[in-house]
Structure 1
């Protein structure tokens, strides 16, 4: 059975709206747990350019702060970055924050990471955009060591750990699950070599692969081709258990859907080996959003659970 993840609505609404309050976090957290969603997702844009925002880019809160608020308002749902742009931050700072959140949430963190695509954001943060893929690989290695709870040594680009420890470490061992986002072949290889899972997304309905700088996956056939590449690379590097696969959305951007269509597609994706899929929920008001989330739980999640 496919598990369903839900992108949280806080980034899609005016920060002064009824969504972006502690009461909103509490109400939304309760609704998604009643509905049976597996994970709550937040994105990462610490300092996007005004040009990107004016062209349709969305607002964003700090992902780990936002997930901490959600953790306080929930008991079961997993807390997932979808995605955290890993090269933006020293990996040991990320490790410290993730370990704290994992411990205080009872071991509910999933770390979705990606290389990002906004040159202006990289520039503002003082990180070399052209080196983002090399930094991704390096930071993933550093992050895994730092989250071990053991003393570690690591020499990175402009930093070095020599006999350091991050204590207390996370509850989950050897570390919270690491999902590598992106459709490109390099991202797939990274998921196989350094991750626990792969996190692809559909690129239709206005998603620009030139802007997001990743490969196209527009339909199930192309997804199957990418999965075949992932399995082939597992054989190449000798990985016996392939990464888990959780797609960003079970619905393609702009696609009309019905509950039965989602149920059918969930079965198809499960047959392809996927374990989870995201589902965006609409709602003009907080009450409408929560009602729609719970309706999805009743019409899809509960139906699949009873199958």
Structure 2
């Protein structure tokens, strides 16, 4: 097994918007990641972050589908990952239209990382019931699967009633993009393992309370969670592989190359297939230099 890497497009760095939050910045960084063999670039989703969260370690975010569209337009092979898209924030058909549009225009390079989310104030700002977020996520993914069959969709949802909705054009294949479910809870694991292609557990170092999910702060804790996911998969008869995507940046920061290699080897041994790599640097030049340095040391030729 070879680890694959997804590089963060640093569009959260709004304090240096001219360096990082421009069309040219997205294109240049995405191109560099593609040329260095990264498997994907990713962005997150926060349409209405509240001031208290922002003042205590939170961050801004561009719309993920707009940002990834700019990356898609200036690259040709690298995958486009939403890490993560909070499906419950949007009507399922509006969300499906965003997904279908980027999936189609990028040549089926989208990986849909999605989850229930954890920011109650953001839910409140968007007029969505926080307590039903899991059910709303399931509903959105159910609608997405029906849309991709190409059939006319009739669906009575929790907040809508649709009759004969038809999406065109659809990419060939009759299936949505790969779906990776984010979250550390047993509910998230069961959701991922029972129906979808991947699971994206979160590294909770530094925000255990705010994240409202089970803590995973060490490789041992991650391995235990993956072992539980595998056991659950076996209990329901799952036979297809399950991608595991994990953010290792906190575990890698400040370590020597040998120490970083040991961490990555431990993650791979635990069952991780994709590693999230965060952008490091005060300007675009420094971020790209660090991106290339990491790739030279760890992104193997097999992954390129």
8 Å Cα contact 2:279/2:287 also seen in 1: yes
Deviation per residue, 1:64-83 (Å, 9 max, x gap): 00000111111111111000
What is the match of residue 262 of structure 1? 260
Residues 48-67 of structure 1 aligned to structure 2 (within 5 Å) = 48-67=49-68
What is the match of residue 293 of structure 2? 295
**Superposition deviation, residue 303 in structure 1:** 6.6
Instruction: Answer yes or no: is 1:237 the counterpart of 2:239.
Output: no
Q: Distance in 2 between matches of 1:254 and 1:275?
A: 17
Q: 1:16 to 1:250 in 2, by over 3 A?
A: closer
What is the match of residue 94 of structure 1? 95
Residues 195-214 of structure 1 aligned to structure 2 (within 5 Å) = 195-204=196-205, 206=206, 208-214=207-213
Q: Distance in 2 between matches of 1:170 and 1:50?
A: 40
**Superposition deviation, residue 254 in structure 1:** 7.8
8 Å Cα contact 1:44/1:83 also seen in 2: yes
What is the match of residue 84 of structure 1? 85
TM-score of the pair, normalised by structure 2: 0.93
8 Å Cα contact 1:260/1:300 also seen in 2: no
Q: Distance in 2 between matches of 1:256 and 1:189?
A: 34
Residues 268-283 of structure 1 aligned to structure 2 (within 5 Å) = 268-283=266-281
**Superposition deviation, residue 253 in structure 1:** 5.7
8 Å Cα contact 2:252/2:263 also seen in 1: no
Which moves more between the two structures, 259-268 or 25-34? 259-268
8 Å Cα contact 1:80/1:111 also seen in 2: yes
**Superposition deviation, residue 171 in structure 1:** 4.4
Q: Distance in 1 between matches of 2:127 and 2:39?
A: 35
Q: Distance in 1 between matches of 2:120 and 2:55?
A: 16
**Superposition deviation, residue 202 in structure 1:** 1.7
Residues 119-268 of structure 1 aligned to structure 2 (within 5 Å) = 119-171=120-172, 173-204=174-205, 206=206, 208-247=207-246, 249-252=247-250, 255-268=253-266
**Superposition deviation, residue 259 in structure 1:** 3.1
**Superposition deviation, residue 221 in structure 1:** 1.6
- In the alignment, structure 1 segments of 5+ residues that lack a partner are none
- In the alignment, structure 2 segments of 5+ residues that lack a partner are none
Q: 1:253 to 1:275 in 2, by over 3 A?
A: closer
In the alignment of these two chains, the number of paired residues is: 303
Which moves more between the two structures, 81-90 or 128-137? 128-137
What is the match of residue 116 of structure 1? 117
Q: Distance in 1 between matches of 2:248 and 2:292?
A: 17
TM-score of the pair, normalised by structure 1: 0.92
